[in-house]
Amino acid sequence: MNNVKLKTLAASMLGALLVVGATGAMAADIKERTIKYAVIYDIKHPHGLGAQKFADLVAQHSGNKIKVKIYAGGTLGGEVQMLSAMQGGTVEMSAVASSQLVGIIKEFAALDLPFLFNNEKEVDAVMDGPVGKQLLERLPAKGLVGLSWFEHGFRNLTNSKRPVQKLEDIQGLKVRVQQNSVAIDTFNALGANAVPMPFPELYSALEQKAVDGQENPYTTVESSKLFEVQKYLSVTRHSYTPLPLLMSKKFWDGLSADEKKIIQDAATEAAVYQRKTNREVNEKSLQALKAAGMQVTAIAPAEMERIRAKVQPVVAKYSAQVGETLVKELFGEIEKVRKP
């Protein structure tokens, strides 16, 4: 076969491939859509960065047909409001702390047990394993679809009164906690006065001394400028907050199979990015908080054991409420990672 014929054949094959590709793209059932995605933190916070990564992936894989519009900074309300809005179908998406789901699905309280995880390796084994999948599968019955697991991370205590170096230092502090019974009971057990409130109200409450302290990852303390109204930070890592990426079931049910695949794939990929980014930013935030003048206290191991012991009744109470089978499975997954 001469060169002219070879070139002609190659051109014909390329043309055929282009036609097939174009036909396949046109055949995909993807409509023009806009998804409202609510974020209660700043767009530069790891919550916002994860949302942006998801939005970019969805745009890329849908040929820009599906657009994700991010509403950051709590402009659409706090997490409790977001859950209600997604169930009602007025907001399509948000990544909400797992603790906010306890009121509608009691089993999510298992993830709020104080001092449940020691490190991120244990976290990933649980959230990406059977327990994480089982919890997400409970959501559609409540009008929500769980796509993947982002994270808020390990929480630490801050306050404006005094350094917390021992159990007794916590006693009497008015501490803002999440609107969640496990968090309330945990801090009350430690002798604090737990004050549940939506996050968007926190800064002004601290500024006006309505509460003395709060508990959040370093990233949140930095990005929300809580260091301006909090002097003391204690490295307690008393709980870890997963962040299920949620979508309104009303919206999800109206999507085609192609659209669902685009969104699910983007959510899975964005979760890997968001957790990695959150952990990197968290360490940088700790250094930034020190530079901003916060007094950081590492609590001695013996004191941490006293604190852990004080909250064991809370662990027992909620383990019984959640159900023995799930809690046993949860601790079993963690023990697999801890074994040498």
Q: Is 22 exposed, middle or buried (0-12, 13-18, 19+ CB in 10 A)?
A: exposed
Res. 19: pLDDT tops 50:
no
Give me the mean pLDDT over the 235-254 stretch: 97
Q: Tell me the pLDDT band of 340, cut-offs 50, 70 and 90.
A: confident
Give me the mean pLDDT over the 270-292 stretch: 96
Percent of the chain, pLDDT > 70?
92
CA proximity to 123, closest of 237, 234, 219, 199: 237
CATH superfamily entry for domain 31-338: Bacterial extracellular solute-binding protein, family 7 (3.40.190.170)
pLDDT tens for residues 63-98?
A: 999 999 999 999 998 888 999 999 999 999 999 999
Q: Contact at 8 Å (CB) between 37 and 94?
A: yes
pLDDT tens for residues 150-196?
A: 999 999 999 999 999 999 999 999 999 988 899 999 999 999 999 99
Exposure letters 304-316 (e unless 16+ CB within 10 A, then b):
beebeebbeebbe
Tell me what pLDDT residue 48 has. Answer: 95
Q: What is the mean pLDDT of the chain?
A: 92
**Which residues, including other chains, have CB under 8 Å from residue 120's CB and lie 6 or more apart?**
275, 279
Tell me what pLDDT residue 27 has. Answer: 56
Res. 3: pLDDT tops 70:
no
d(CA 198, CA 185): 17
Domain boundaries, the chain: 31-338
Q: Is 132 helix (H, G, I), strand (E, B) or coil?
A: helix
Q: Tell me the pLDDT band of 14, cut-offs 50, 70 and 90.
A: very low
Give me the mean pLDDT over the 1-13 stretch: 48
